[in-house]
Amino acid sequence: MSTLGQYVGKTVLVITADGRLFTGMLQGYDQTTNLILEHTQERVVTPDAPTEIMDLGLYLVRGESVVLCGLVDNTMDEAIDWDKVRGQQLHETRRR
Protein backbone atom coordinates (compact mmCIF):
# COMPACT_ATOMS: atom_id res chain seq x y z
CA MET A 1 0.00 0.00 0.00
CA SER A 2 2.82 2.41 -0.75
CA THR A 3 0.40 4.72 -2.57
CA LEU A 4 -1.15 5.68 0.79
CA GLY A 5 1.88 7.86 1.53
CA GLN A 6 0.59 10.55 -0.80
CA TYR A 7 -2.70 10.66 1.17
CA VAL A 8 -1.15 11.43 4.58
CA GLY A 9 -2.40 14.79 5.84
CA LYS A 10 -5.34 14.79 3.42
CA THR A 11 -9.01 13.94 3.83
CA VAL A 12 -9.86 10.39 2.75
CA LEU A 13 -12.95 8.27 2.46
CA VAL A 14 -12.73 4.68 3.74
CA ILE A 15 -15.24 1.92 3.03
CA THR A 16 -14.93 -1.20 5.17
CA ALA A 17 -15.80 -4.83 4.49
CA ASP A 18 -18.88 -4.56 6.71
CA GLY A 19 -20.22 -1.64 4.64
CA ARG A 20 -19.31 1.26 6.95
CA LEU A 21 -18.32 4.64 5.49
CA PHE A 22 -15.74 6.85 7.21
CA THR A 23 -14.14 10.17 6.31
CA GLY A 24 -11.21 11.77 8.09
CA MET A 25 -7.70 13.10 7.73
CA LEU A 26 -5.22 10.27 7.23
CA GLN A 27 -2.52 10.60 9.88
CA GLY A 28 -0.72 7.33 9.31
CA TYR A 29 -0.82 3.73 8.14
CA ASP A 30 1.26 0.57 8.34
CA GLN A 31 2.19 -2.40 6.15
CA THR A 32 -1.11 -4.17 6.95
CA THR A 33 -3.16 -1.09 5.93
CA ASN A 34 -4.21 -0.18 9.47
CA LEU A 35 -5.30 3.45 9.06
CA ILE A 36 -5.18 6.23 11.65
CA LEU A 37 -7.78 8.90 10.90
CA GLU A 38 -8.17 12.25 12.65
CA HIS A 39 -11.41 14.28 12.74
CA THR A 40 -13.20 11.09 11.69
CA GLN A 41 -16.87 11.00 10.80
CA GLU A 42 -18.98 7.93 10.12
CA ARG A 43 -21.80 8.45 7.65
CA VAL A 44 -24.80 6.15 7.77
CA VAL A 45 -26.89 6.39 4.59
CA THR A 46 -30.37 4.85 4.64
CA PRO A 47 -33.32 4.95 2.23
CA ASP A 48 -35.83 6.44 4.69
CA ALA A 49 -33.96 9.00 6.78
CA PRO A 50 -31.40 11.76 6.39
CA THR A 51 -27.79 10.64 6.41
CA GLU A 52 -26.62 10.30 9.99
CA ILE A 53 -23.17 11.79 10.57
CA MET A 54 -21.36 10.81 13.76
CA ASP A 55 -18.17 12.51 14.90
CA LEU A 56 -15.65 9.92 16.11
CA GLY A 57 -12.49 12.01 16.53
CA LEU A 58 -9.24 10.03 16.34
CA TYR A 59 -10.05 6.59 14.92
CA LEU A 60 -8.17 3.44 13.91
CA VAL A 61 -9.52 1.36 11.02
CA ARG A 62 -8.10 -2.16 11.01
CA GLY A 63 -6.41 -3.01 7.74
CA GLU A 64 -8.18 -6.35 7.37
CA SER A 65 -11.49 -4.50 7.04
CA VAL A 66 -10.41 -1.80 4.55
CA VAL A 67 -11.99 -2.27 1.12
CA LEU A 68 -11.38 1.21 -0.30
CA CYS A 69 -9.39 4.30 0.68
CA GLY A 70 -9.53 7.32 -1.59
CA LEU A 71 -9.10 11.07 -1.56
CA VAL A 72 -12.05 13.34 -0.87
CA ASP A 73 -12.63 16.49 -2.91
CA ASN A 74 -13.37 18.80 0.04
CA THR A 75 -15.08 21.45 -2.10
CA MET A 76 -17.45 18.92 -3.60
CA ASP A 77 -18.03 17.15 -0.27
CA GLU A 78 -18.92 20.41 1.52
CA ALA A 79 -21.44 21.26 -1.23
CA ILE A 80 -23.47 18.10 -0.56
CA ASP A 81 -26.64 18.58 1.51
CA TRP A 82 -26.40 15.35 3.53
CA ASP A 83 -29.94 15.85 4.92
CA LYS A 84 -31.26 15.16 1.41
CA VAL A 85 -29.03 12.17 0.60
CA ARG A 86 -30.82 8.80 0.62
CA GLY A 87 -29.63 5.42 -0.50
CA GLN A 88 -29.24 1.79 0.31
CA GLN A 89 -26.63 0.84 2.87
CA LEU A 90 -23.70 -1.10 1.47
CA HIS A 91 -23.76 -4.82 2.14
CA GLU A 92 -20.89 -6.73 3.66
CA THR A 93 -18.23 -7.80 1.17
CA ARG A 94 -17.19 -10.89 3.13
CA ARG A 95 -18.58 -14.27 2.31
CA ARG A 96 -19.96 -16.27 5.18
Looking at the domain 2-81, which fold is it?
A: SH3 type barrels. (2.30.30)
Give 41-91 pLDDT, tens digit per residue: 999 988 888 889 999 999 999 999 999 999 999 999 889 888 888 887 667
* E strand residue ranges, the chain: 11-16, 21-29, 35-44, 52-61, 66-71
Which of residues 2 and 29 earns the better pLDDT score?
29
In this structure, the number of other CB atoms found within 10 A of the CB of residue 70 comes to 9
**pTM of this prediction?**
0.84
Cβ(35)–Cβ(47) under 8 Å? no
Average pLDDT over residues 29-52: 93
Confidence at residue 67, expressed as pLDDT on a 0 to 100 scale:
92
Q: For the chain, what are the domain ranges?
A: 2-81
Give 12-21 pLDDT, tens digit per residue: 999 999 889 9
Confidence at residue 1, expressed as pLDDT on a 0 to 100 scale:
47
